[in-house]
């Protein structure tokens, strides 16, 4: 496995693989790799001949006062993990390599970015779509792999690919969870032991919500109120608790069709997100 830091080096490696007829898989990450990232790499390995993992803590998707500076950077361990899984190439550029001058070109997806995390983190998705568009152009992959953990990101990236006629395919992998249900995240390591225990309330609230829907409850106001009660019982500070249409991400009153139930909760300064996708006939 090679680790490269320069755009030109990625292009050369990928081109050489393509000459051999390889199908190219791309797994974009911010590093501090864990089993969630691992599942994307494994999915890429199963389907592609040459897998590129990008590791870049993208400054343009962090707002003022967010955790850009303290975000874990663990390239050595990440490289060992990628090697173990069998990835072919890591691209770990510097900020300067990705943004050599002040960025004048941005990719913006309207509407889908207005609610949920988009409302709480202004500019976040503009940073995500811009860096993903750049990575797609740099790597030239056939397929890119994303996690359902970031449900709004999935919808936004899909819209970008469709709206800009990008050639690559997007694959979505299920959320990987700890044994108690907490979604695996690079940010979980910020949690104190006590916060870590209480953080189980995100997945518990979502699971209980699903159970109530399975039992016939269709009133989004009642369901979100119950989720809020569960989360607050555990001392989580709610950023949002929403039930939206899974395609357009607009809030639903009566629940039907493809539904996304999404939560964002603070424990101390750590912001965690989780979601469940349901298909109601
Ligand atoms: P990040 O490094 O947090 O930007 O995440 C990189 C990719 O890994 C994104 O597509 C995430 O959705 C995905 N990912 C992060 N956590 C998980 C998880 N617990 N299960 C599945 N995918 C995940």
Domains and CATH numbers, the chain: 2-173 (3.40.50.620), 186-276 (3.30.1300.10)
pLDDT for position 188: 98
Query: Hey, whose CA ends up nearest to atom 7 of ligand 1?
Result: 29
Which position has the token pair 């039930």? Answer: 243
Q: Is 188 in the pocket of ligand 1 (CB under 6 A)?
A: no
Q: Is 30 in the pocket of ligand 1 (CB under 6 A)?
A: yes
pLDDT per position as a tens digit, 49-105: 999 999 999 999 999 999 999 999 999 999 999 999 999 999 999 999 999 999 999
Q: Provide the annotated active-site residues.
A: 37
Please report, for residues 23, 123, 153, 164, the alpha-carbon distance to residue 139 in angstroms, rounded to integers and kept in the order given: 12, 24, 20, 17
Query: Hey, whose CA ends up nearest to atom 5 of ligand 1?
Result: 29
- Reply yes or no on whether the pLDDT at 281 is more than 80: no
Residue 106 and residue 148: Cα distance in Å, rounded?
24
Residue 187 in tokens: 């940010």
Q: Is 150 in the pocket of ligand 1 (CB under 6 A)?
A: yes
Residue 238 bridge partners (DSSP)? 265
Which position has the token pair 């940010």? Answer: 187
Residue 164 and residue 225: Cα distance in Å, rounded?
38
How many angstroms does the Cα of residue 2 sit away from the middle of ligand 1? Answer: 22
Give pairs for 11-15: CB < 8 Å, separation 24+. 11/138, 11/140, 13/88, 13/89, 14/50, 14/52, 14/89, 14/139, 14/140, 14/141, 15/140
pLDDT for position 278: 98
Taking the model in full, what pTM does it have? Answer: 0.98
Q: Which of 26, 27, 29 to mutate to test the pocket of ligand 1 (most atoms within 8 A of CB)?
A: 29
**Mean pLDDT (whole number) for 152-181:** 98
Q: Is 186 in the pocket of ligand 1 (CB under 6 A)?
A: yes
Q: What are φ and ψ of residue 191, in 5° steps? A: -75, 140
How many angstroms does the Cα of residue 216 sit away from the middle of ligand 1? Answer: 32
Terminal-residue alpha carbon distance, the chain? 46
- Reply yes or no on whether the pLDDT at 128 is more than 80: yes
Query: Hey, whose CA ends up nearest to atom 6 of ligand 1?
Result: 29
């Amino acid at each position: 496995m090679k680790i490269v830091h320069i755009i030109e080096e990625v292009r050369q490696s990928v081109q050489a693989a393509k000459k051999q007829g390889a199908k190219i898989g791309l797994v974009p990450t911010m590093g501090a790799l864990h089993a969630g990232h691992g599942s994307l790499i494994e999915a890429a390995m199963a389907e592609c001949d040459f897998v590129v993992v990008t590791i870049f803590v993208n400054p343009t998707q962090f707002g003022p006062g967010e955790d850009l500076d303290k975000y874990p950077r663990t390239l050595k361990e990440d490289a060992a993990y990628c090697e173990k899984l069998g990835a072919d190439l890591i691209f770990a550029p510097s900020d300067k390599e990705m943004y050599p001058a002040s960025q004048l070109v941005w990719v913006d997806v309207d509407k889908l970015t207005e609610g949920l995390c988009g409302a709480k983190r202004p500019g976040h998705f503009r940073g995500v779509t811009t860096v993903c568009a750049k990575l797609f152009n740099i790597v030239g992959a056939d397929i890119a792999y994303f996690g359902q953990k970031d449900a709004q990101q999935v919808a936004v990236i899909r819209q970008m690919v469709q709206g800009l006629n990008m050639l690559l395919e997007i694959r979505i992998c299920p959320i990987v969870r700890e044994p108690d249900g907490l979604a695996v995240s690079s940010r979980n390591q910020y949690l104190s032991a006590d916060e870590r225990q209480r953080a189980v309330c995100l997945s518990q609230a979502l699971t209980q919500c699903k159970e109530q829907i399975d039992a016939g409850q269709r009133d989004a106001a009642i369901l979100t109120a119950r989720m809020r009660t569960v989360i607050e019982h555990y001392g989580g500070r709610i950023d949002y608790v929403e039930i939206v249409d899974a395609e357009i991400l607009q809030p639903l009153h009566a629940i039907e069709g493809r539904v996304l139930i999404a939560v964002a909760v603070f424990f101390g300064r750590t912001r965690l997100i989780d979601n469940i996708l349901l298909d109601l006939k």
